[in-house]
């Protein structure tokens, strides 16, 4: 590899040819500030439109300043990152951006977590010399995501996520000049677009332009209502990330503290979505085995492969983009909805209360879950199975508002019966986890033999698309895994073109799976955080006494007492769903 | 083939067409057939003659009579008097404004005398819709020569030696660009002609495409041969319908003649051209933005490198040159690099086409050798300032050029001198201003354009230019402060220093150059709250002179906001707090009692 030698701020730097000034500077401890730039190293996701011009530096001999993020180092280059010309330009540009930005930081939901605010602080901006007209746009509220476009700084990170990574293609720059802004086509609202609510735009937005719909006040009100029994479920990925909101190291497992905090908040029962994840394996696994055995017995009517259906962003994606393939995904509801359904039937009966008097709250790493729980098919007489889905970030706010010293909390256990879970369900939060959990159960059911080694390393990792073969005692089962909707599209197109011979495919909309969901604490471009969260989930799995879903005693009891058998009549009614053709929602008016 | 005794060349450029040159053409034809002269006299529509101020133009060949401002009604007289009786129609001849003498031959007019037409060689001379006429003027000879006698390397060497630089504004050496694109290896390469002429007032590219489309087609094919591309694309503004039509006709004809398509001239070289239409965004003249627009993406520039020569249209090596650059190529091949290089200055060879506009007598399109002075252009070719007013400044380089003044009049015009003087060549717009122009308003006017045309990708251009114009508006309203002037200067510098593409890197030029050359006007606006040229309405006061006012009440009755108070036969007064400065009072006063202060 050819090496390049250059000087940055009087320090000699040697880097590989092709390195940017920004990267070269980092190697000698010089952090050039950036704003629009985003680089998720482990996922190979990069956004560098060179639009914010905050990272400009002086290159000797060059007429104008150079954006460090996209300027390649050349031999003998002499760079200055903070002389008066650079500082003045950087501050002036920042003032310009602020001059077209609402300064309502004190009441902005992004306050304290906003890259623009942090930068303004670090740069010591104390006045905005260039005041003038500010751009104003209509606020766009959807079931999951709010677009406060006045706060858009045209960093184009969301556009990159929506188009390049997710291939959803809803967000892109529209209008010209001062009126330029990122918006859906024809500046329609998100709920009139093909948005999947995956929330990856929110996950990377540096300002308050894209945020989640906040349900914390609704939760507080429900908790204060004496006529309501309020139940909470927590998704697997939450426990691996919540601690970050309280200053803990990424990857710190806070399961026990989280349960403790939820009890402190006043929830009547603190349950675990993991329980429902085990239930999902029972249903989805049974469906898989049924399709698989019919397929292997030569039944031509059977569709292969079966695709997982736990991820609501993914469900929205195929309803919009692949309406011709609605019969391929499993009909099993997601764990969130299975939980809600069981809670408002089985558990409500146990408590002897009406479903109207029960409120089910879910804590999710996800924003699409907000939309999912509002779907009509998951309501009974207008009463939703899950009333509110709040994000990991919202839960942190609830805890802070309740004056709870999170880090000082004791560890507590989930309540029973809907709080008991296995290691298989915990790994639902990471890409590959659902299919690994399904494999653990399906293997034993299919072969009738006990699985010696429950860890399927070949199904794990961060690679976008993974293909693996698992030996079911002589029968090779072909498994596909994709995370990120753009990769899901690739696999789906392979299936559509008849080029794929998978038996089962797991798809997660978000990079890394739920641990990288749109409702998680913001990673601010540090992809090692996602890796730490993943590792935490596998750690939790490894420490669990039971690691196969079908061995969960409370699941067994649920079938005995209430459901009958997996994919039976009752579970079909309560735990399965159907999909809708949502293609072409855009009509040009 | 009929041999005609007389040819009547009627300008078919967009400007002359707007003054009914098409009707004139039809009337000439009709009169000719009425008189039974179809075999003697031919009428041809040509491209632009350049002298748009005096259009529509009719040129009679072979005696070289140049008629100006001809109306459709003049057709009969031209045929009856000139064609039949051999008497020139005196009233349609150009009159030398100084000597008042009638001038018959265009070469003797001040407007043409100092011009040297290379890129425009065929404009106003041939029928652009007839490939034979182009071929009759050595057309496609250069292509033939390249394909049969020269290697691509040799052609590139000629281009490099000629010193031809990009005429679109950047001034990058064309031969070098071709060489770099040739060196990029790929299965497919593209030649792109940038016909997205966006500078307000500039129309040389349109004129070339309307008047001599084959020269561009020929040059693109030569370029394709040099860089090893089989495909050419012309990115042209959809607002140029006539140019599009003529280009389409020309491409069709070239294909029919085997000059485009498979196996050109039987040499095995294949090259064809397609059109791509632009929606009129100024920034799409920037080559990366142009390419994105052609790809169906948002028309916005991206960072270079990679340069289009390495990764351009659809990620393939792409050579982008503008229309005027291409129009020079066939002549260079035919007449040699040395000939071309002998014209112009050391670093700027050849000629440049300028669109003369503004407060100048001879508005139009001119082509002059590089190195000519602004004084020669403005006073000799341009015929001086309109209405005998005082010259104040000239804006070169379009909206992002700079204003040059009296002290720059004797500067030889070339790429480097213009930049050194704080302006630029741009695509060749040249707008002349006189003593009545307010330089703060002028800067505001140009910024208004760049604010509209910014693509919005980078923050300094998107927001900075908006803030610049807001400060200028404040100053023009008399609300500016000395701090605003400091901010204006700093902001301009930062926008130039930090913007992503050429648009933002040059958009503050009008501000900086007017501040540099006319700082006292800024001071007058800010400190004295006065606009020395009387252009900034907010800084004007309409005053009634008590001596002249007879109390006729005409002003008061016509004031739309009732700002004028006064008794009949008594002196009237304007309430400045109410006055909206519409000027109605001044217009209605028969006693010259209303004046502006």
Q: What is the pLDDT of residue B346?
A: 93
Pairing of strands A229-234, A269-272: parallel
For B494, the closest chain A residue by CA position comes to A89
Mutation target vs A (from B400, B447, B498; most A CBs, 10 A cutoff):
B498
Q: Do B300 and A173 touch (CB under 8 A)?
A: yes
Q: What is the pLDDT of residue B99?
A: 87
- Percent of chain A at pLDDT > 90 equals 94
Is the minimum CB–CB distance between B487 and chain A shorter than 8 Å?
A: yes
> Is residue A485 within 8 Å of residue A313, measured between CB atoms?
yes
Q: Is the domain B351-434 a CATH 3.20.20.80 member?
A: no
For A101, the closest chain B residue by CA position comes to B463
Mean model confidence pLDDT for chain A: 95
**B residues 412..451 contacting A (CB < 8 A):** 451
CATH number of B439-528: 1.20.1440.230
Both structure tokens of B381: 């070719």
Q: Do B455 and A177 touch (CB under 8 A)?
A: yes
> What contacts A500, CB < 8 A, 6 or more positions away?
A305, A480, A491, A494
Is the minimum CB–CB distance between B486 and chain A shorter than 8 Å?
A: no
Q: Do B494 and A88 touch (CB under 8 A)?
A: yes
Count CB atoms within 10 A of the CB of residue B243: 28
Residues of chain B with C-beta less than 8 angstroms from the C-beta of A50: 302-303, 458, 500
CA distances (Å), origin B236, targets A54, A527, B139, B193: 35, 44, 23, 8
Residue B303 has its nearest CB partner, among A50, A92, A177, at A50
Residues of chain A with C-beta less than 8 angstroms from the C-beta of B459: 51-53, 93, 96-97, 153-154
CATH topology of domain A3-98: Ubiquitin-like (UB roll) (3.10.20)
Q: What is the pLDDT of residue A588?
A: 53
Q: Do A178 and B463 touch (CB under 8 A)?
A: yes
Q: Degrees (nearest 5) of the Cα angle B217, B222, B225?
A: 125
CATH number of B6-108: 3.40.30.10
CA distance A393 to A246: 11
Is the minimum CB–CB distance between B281 and chain A shorter than 8 Å?
A: yes
Q: What is the DSSP letter of A249?
A: P
Q: Is the domain B131-340 a CATH 2.10.60.10 member?
A: no
CA distance A330 to A318: 12
Query: Partners of A270 in the beta sheet?
Result: A232
> Is residue A37 within 8 Å of residue A23, measured between CB atoms?
no
> Is residue B189 within 8 Å of residue B232, measured between CB atoms?
no
Question: Domain spans of chain A?
Answer: 3-98, 100-119+139-212, 217-575
Q: Do A176 and B458 touch (CB under 8 A)?
A: no
Rounded mean pLDDT, B573-594: 91
Range with the poorest average pLDDT among A448-452, B168-172, B373-377, B505-509 = B168-172
Is the minimum CB–CB distance between B488 and chain A shorter than 8 Å?
A: no
Residues of chain A with C-beta less than 8 angstroms from the C-beta of B456: 154, 173, 175-180
CATH number of A217-575: 3.40.50.1780
**A residues 78..107 contacting B (CB < 8 A):** 85, 88-89, 92-93, 96-97, 99-100
Q: What is the pLDDT of residue B2?
A: 57
- Percent of chain B at pLDDT > 90 equals 85
The CATH architecture of the domain made up of A100-119+139-212 is 2-Layer Sandwich (3.30)
- pLDDT 10s digits, A350-360: 999 999 999 99
Q: Coil, strand or helix: which one is A332?
A: strand
Count CB atoms within 10 A of the CB of residue B222: 28
- pLDDT 10s digits, B436-468: 999 999 999 999 999 999 999 999 999 999 999
For B493, the closest chain A residue by CA position comes to A89
- What b/e string do you get for B448-470 counting C-beta neighbours within 10 Å, with b at 16 or more? ebbbebbbbbbbbbbbbbbbbbb
Residue with structure tokens 């606006």? B525
Q: What is the pLDDT of residue A208?
A: 96
Is the minimum CB–CB distance between B193 and chain A shorter than 8 Å?
A: no
Q: Do A72 and B305 touch (CB under 8 A)?
A: yes
Complex ipTM:
0.93
Is the minimum CB–CB distance between A129 and chain B shorter than 8 Å?
A: yes
Catalytically annotated residues of A: 284, 287, 310, 330, 369, 372, 377, 514
Q: Do A67 and B302 touch (CB under 8 A)?
A: no
pLDDT bucket at B200, cuts 50 / 70 / 90: confident
Task: State the nearest Cα–Cα gap between B500 and chain A, in angstroms.
Answer: 7
Residues of chain A with C-beta less than 8 angstroms from the C-beta of B466: 100, 132-133, 177-178
- pLDDT 10s digits, B203-234: 999 999 999 999 999 999 999 999 999 999 99
> Is residue A284 within 8 Å of residue A309, measured between CB atoms?
yes
> Is residue B346 within 8 Å of residue B323, measured between CB atoms?
no
> Is residue B571 within 8 Å of residue B553, measured between CB atoms?
no
Q: Is the pLDDT of residue A265 over 60?
A: yes
Q: Is the pLDDT of residue B58 over 70?
A: yes
Residue B456 has its nearest CB partner, among A50, A53, A178, at A178
> What contacts B504, CB < 8 A, 6 or more positions away?
B454, B458, B460, B461, B464, B465, B495, B496, B498
Among B571, B539, B535, B540, smallest CA distance to B556 is for B571
- pLDDT 10s digits, A222-252: 999 999 999 999 999 999 999 999 999 999 9
Residue A132 has its nearest CB partner, among B462, B470, B497, at B470
CATH number of B541-596: 3.30.70.20
Ranges of H-type helices in A449-582 = 485-496, 528-543, 553-558, 569-575
Residues of chain B with C-beta less than 8 angstroms from the C-beta of A88: 490, 494
Is the minimum CB–CB distance between B300 and chain A shorter than 8 Å?
A: yes
Q: What is the pLDDT of residue B1?
A: 43
Question: Domain spans of chain B?
Answer: 6-108, 131-340, 351-434, 439-528, 541-596
Residue B498 has its nearest CB partner, among A53, A153, A179, at A53
Q: What is the pTM of this model?
A: 0.93
Q: What is the DSSP letter of B414?
A: -
Residues of chain B with C-beta less than 8 angstroms from the C-beta of A89: 494, 497-498
Residues of chain A with C-beta less than 8 angstroms from the C-beta of B419: none
**A residues 56..75 contacting B (CB < 8 A):** 56, 64-65, 67, 70, 72
- Percent of chain B at pLDDT > 70 equals 100
Mean model confidence pLDDT for chain B: 93
Q: Do A133 and B457 touch (CB under 8 A)?
A: no
Range with the poorest average pLDDT among A53-57, A579-583, B166-170, B257-261 = B166-170
CA distance A414 to A263: 9
Q: Is the pLDDT of residue B6 over 70?
A: yes
Q: Is the pLDDT of residue B337 over 90?
A: yes
- pLDDT 10s digits, A406-437: 999 999 999 999 999 999 999 999 999 999 99
Task: State the nearest Cα–Cα gap between B300 and chain A, in angstroms.
Answer: 9
Task: State the nearest Cα–Cα gap between B471 and chain A, in angstroms.
Answer: 9
Rounded mean pLDDT, A540-547: 95
Alpha carbon A43 to its chain centroid, in Å, reads 14
pLDDT bucket at B431, cuts 50 / 70 / 90: very high
Torsion angle in degrees (nearest 10) through CA of A58, A60, A63, A69: -40
pLDDT bucket at B199, cuts 50 / 70 / 90: confident
Residues of chain A with C-beta less than 8 angstroms from the C-beta of B494: 88-89, 92-93
């Amino acid at each position: 590899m050819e090496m390049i030698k250059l000087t940055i701020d009087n320090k000699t730097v040697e880097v590989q040819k092709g390195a940017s000034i920004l990267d070269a500077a980092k190697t000698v401890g010089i952090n050039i500030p950036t704003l629009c730039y985003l680089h998720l190293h482990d996922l190979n996701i990069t956004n560098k439109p060179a639009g914010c011009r905050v990272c400009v530096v002086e290159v000797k001999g060059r007429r104008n300043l150079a954006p460090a993020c996209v300027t390649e180092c050349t031999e003998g280059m002499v760079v200055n990152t903070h002389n008066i010309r650079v500082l003045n330009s950087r501050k002036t540009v920042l003032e310009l951006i602020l001059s077209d930005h609402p300064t309502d930081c004190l009441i902005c939901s992004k306050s304290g977590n906003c890259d623009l605010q942090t930068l303004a602080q670090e740069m010591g901006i104390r006045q905005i010399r260039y005041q003038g007209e500010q751009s104003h746009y209509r606020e766009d509220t959807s079931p999951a995501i709010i677009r406060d476009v006045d706060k858009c700084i045209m960093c184009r990170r969301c556009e990159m996520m929506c188009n390049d990574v997710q291939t959803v293609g809803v967000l892109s720059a529209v209008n010209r000049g001062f009126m330029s802004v990122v918006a859906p086509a024809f500046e329609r609202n998100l709920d009139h677009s093909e948005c999947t609510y995956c929330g990856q735009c929110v996950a990377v937005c540096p300002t308050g332009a894209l945020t989640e719909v906040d349900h914390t006040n609704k939760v507080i009100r429900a908790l204060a209502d004496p006529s309501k029994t309020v139940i909470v479920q927590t998704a697997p990925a939450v426990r691996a990330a919540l601690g970050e909101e309280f200053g803990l190291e990424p990857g710190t497992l806070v399961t026990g503290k989280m349960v403790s905090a939820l009890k402190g908040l006043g929830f009547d029962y603190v349950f675990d979505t993991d329980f429902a994840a085990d239930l999902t394996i029972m249903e989805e696994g049974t469906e898989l085995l049924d399709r698989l055995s019919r397929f292997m017995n030569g039944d031509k009517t059977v569709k292969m492969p079966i695709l997982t259906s736990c991820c609501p962003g993914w469900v929205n994606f195929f309803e919009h983009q692949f309406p011709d393939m609605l019969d391929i995904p499993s009909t099993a509801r997601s764990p969130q909805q299975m939980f809600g359904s069981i809670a408002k039937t089985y558990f409500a009966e146990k408590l002897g209360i009406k479903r109207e008097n029960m409120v089910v709250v879910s804590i999710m790493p996800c924003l699409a879950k907000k939309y999912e729980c509002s779907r009509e098919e998951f309501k009974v007489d207008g009463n939703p199975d899950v009333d509110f889905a709040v994000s990991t970030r919202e839960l942190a706010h609830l805890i802070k508002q309740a004056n709870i010293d999170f880090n000082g909390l004791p560890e507590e256990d989930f309540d029973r019966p809907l709080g008991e879970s296995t290691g298989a369900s915990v790994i639902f939060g990471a890409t590959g986890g659902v299919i690994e959990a399904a494999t653990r159960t399906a293997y034993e059911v299919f072969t009738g033999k006990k699985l010696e080694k429950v860890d399927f390393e070949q199904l794990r990792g961060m690679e976008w698309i993974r293909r693996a073969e698992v030996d079911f005692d002589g029968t090779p089962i072909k498994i596909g895994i994709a995370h990120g909707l753009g990769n899901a599209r690739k696999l789906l197109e392979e299936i559509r073109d008849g080029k794929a011979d998978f038996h089962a495919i797991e798809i997660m909309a978000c990079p890394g799976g739920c641990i990288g969901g749109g409702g998680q604490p913001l990673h601010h471009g540090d992809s090692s955080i996602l890796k730490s969260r993943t590792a935490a989930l596998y750690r939790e799995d490894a420490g669990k006494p039971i690691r196969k879903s079908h061995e969960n005693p409370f699941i067994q009891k649920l079938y005995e007492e209430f459901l009958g058998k997996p994919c039976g009549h009752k579970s079909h009614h309560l735990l399965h769903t159907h999909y809708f053709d949502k293609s072409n929602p855009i009509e040009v008016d | 083939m009929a041999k005609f005794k007389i040819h009547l060349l009627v300008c078919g450029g967009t400007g002359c067409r707007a003054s009914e040159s098409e009707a004139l053409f039809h009337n000439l034809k009709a009169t000719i057939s009425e008189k039974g002269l179809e075999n003697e006299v031919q009428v041809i529509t040509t491209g632009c003659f350049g002298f748009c101020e005096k259009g529509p133009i009719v040129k009679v060949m072979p005696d070289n009579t140049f008629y100006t401002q001809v109306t459709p009604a003049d057709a009969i007289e031209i045929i009856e008097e000139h064609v039949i009786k051999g008497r020139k129609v005196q009233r349609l001849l150009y009159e030398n404004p100084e000597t008042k003498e009638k001038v018959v031959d265009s070469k003797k007019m001040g407007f043409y005398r100092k011009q040297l037409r290379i890129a425009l060689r065929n404009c106003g001379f041939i029928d652009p819709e007839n490939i034979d006429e182009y071929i009759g003027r050595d057309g496609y000879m250069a292509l033939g020569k390249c394909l049969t006698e020269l290697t691509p390397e040799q052609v590139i060497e000629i281009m490099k030696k000629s010193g031809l630089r990009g005429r679109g504004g950047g001034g990058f050496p064309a031969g070098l660009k071709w060489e770099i694109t040739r060196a990029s290896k790929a299965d497919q390469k593209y030649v792109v002609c940038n016909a997205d002429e966006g500078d307000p007032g500039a129309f040389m590219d349109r004129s070339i495409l309307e008047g001599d489309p084959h020269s561009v087609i020929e040059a693109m094919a030569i370029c394709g041969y040099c860089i090893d591309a089989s495909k050419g694309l012309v990115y042209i503004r959809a607002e140029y319908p006539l140019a599009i039509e003529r280009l389409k006709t020309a491409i069709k004809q070239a294909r029919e003649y085997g000059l485009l398509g498979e196996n050109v001239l039987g040499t095995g070289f294949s090259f064809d051209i397609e059109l791509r239409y632009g929606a009129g965004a100024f920034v799409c003249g920037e080559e990366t933005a142009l390419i994105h627009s052609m790809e169906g993406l948002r028309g916005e520039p991206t960072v270079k490198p990679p340069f289009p020569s390495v990764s351009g249209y659809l990620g393939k090596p792409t050579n982008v040159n503008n229309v005027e650059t291409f129009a020079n190529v066939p002549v260079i091949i035919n007449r040699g690099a040395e000939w071309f290089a002998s014209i112009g200055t050391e670093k700027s060879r050849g000629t440049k086409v300028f669109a003369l506009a503004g407060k100048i007598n001879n508005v139009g399109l001119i082509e002059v050798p590089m190195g000519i002075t602004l004084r020669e252009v403005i006073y000799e070719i341009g015929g001086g300032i309109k209405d005998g007013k005082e010259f104040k400044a000239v804006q070169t380089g379009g909206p992002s050029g700079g204003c040059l003044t009296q002290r720059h009049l004797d500067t030889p015009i070339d790429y480097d001198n213009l930049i050194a003087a704080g302006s630029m060549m741009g695509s060749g717009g040249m707008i002349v201003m006189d003593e009545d122009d307010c330089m703060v308003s002028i800067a505001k006017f140009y910024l208004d354009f760049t604010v509209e045309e910014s693509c919005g990708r980078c923050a300094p251009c998107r927001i900075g230019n908006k803030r610049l114009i807001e400060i200028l508006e404040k100053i023009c309203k008399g609300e500016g402060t000395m701090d605003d002037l400091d901010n204006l200067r700093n902001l301009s510098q930062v926008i130039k220093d930090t913007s992503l593409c050429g648009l933002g890197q040059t958009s503050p030029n009008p501000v900086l150059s007017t501040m540099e050359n006319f700082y006292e006007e800024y001071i007058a606006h800010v400190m004295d709250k006065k606009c020395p040229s009387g252009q900034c309405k907010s800084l004007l006061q309409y005053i009634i002179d008590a001596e002249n006012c007879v109390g006729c009440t005409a002003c008061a009755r016509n004031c739309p906001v009732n700002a004028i108070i006064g008794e009949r036969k008594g002196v009237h007064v304007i309430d400045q707090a109410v006055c909206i400065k519409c000027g109605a009072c001044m217009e209605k006063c028969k006693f010259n009692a209303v004046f502006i202060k």
